[in-house]
């Protein structure tokens, strides 16, 4: 009698898609250098870090425009209160929070300024 040469059920591993991140910072050098020094997980395909030197409102707007281009899975804005007017700072946070496309990383101590 011939051997059964059919295919046996095999377990198939499902690999998670590796994401591409963009971190945009208000600082042009310090913050990008800080984030580029991090070790990157193997579950991340790429992290692009850019320093624009924009105020928080412009930074959030830039993040939304870059997200609309579709090149990144996640976009994070990084800024702090520093010398920006309180109104600009709060408007930038409200603008980002009203969007599902932009994540915020705001200096922890500045949460108490709002």
Q: Which of 51, 40, 41 is nearest to 16 (CA)?
A: 41
Does pLDDT of 95 surpass 80? Answer: yes
The answer to whether 79 and 90 have CB atoms below 8 angstroms apart is no
Does pLDDT of 24 surpass 90? Answer: yes
pLDDT by residue (tens digit) across 32-86? 999 899 888 888 899 999 999 899 999 999 999 998 898 999 898 888 887 788 8
């Amino acid at each position: 009698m011939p051997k059964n040469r059919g295919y046996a059920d095999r377990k198939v591993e499902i690999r998670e898609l590796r994401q591409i991140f963009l971190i945009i910072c208000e600082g042009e050098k310090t913050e990008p250098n800080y984030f580029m020094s991090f070790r990157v997980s193997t579950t991340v395909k790429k992290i692009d870090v850019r320093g624009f030197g924009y105020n928080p409102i412009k930074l959030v707007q830039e993040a939304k425009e870059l997200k609309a281009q579709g090149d990144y899975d996640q976009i994070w804005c990084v800024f702090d209160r520093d010398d920006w007017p309180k109104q600009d700072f709060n408007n930038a946070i409200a603008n980002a929070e009203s969007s599902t496309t932009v994540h915020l990383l705001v200096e922890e101590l500045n949460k108490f300024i709002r």
